[in-house]
Amino acid sequence: MYLLKPSHWNFRIDGAPSNIIRLRAQGRRTIIFTNNRQLSGPQADSRQEAERLVMEAEEE
């Protein structure tokens, strides 16, 4: 699990369904490592891909 900090918000990257569900309930943005196929949402195979997803989301 990683915590990436772009300019003004945090993104949590995790693979545990219970953590992802809890974080989403708190309104946190999450990226799921692709070893977890139980939940939908942004997924990444590597830290580099996760960083790309975070940067793309920040541009939105």
pLDDT in tens, 2-44: 555 544 456 677 778 888 888 889 888 888 887 767 788 888 8
pLDDT at 46: 86
The yes-or-no verdict on residue 58 having pLDDT over 80 is no
- pLDDT recorded at residue 7: 45
Distance CA 49, CA 25 (A): 24
Amino acid 19: pLDDT: 84
Question: What is the reported pTM?
Answer: 0.65
Question: CB neighbours of 57 closer than 8 A, spacing ≥ 6?
Answer: 11, 29, 42
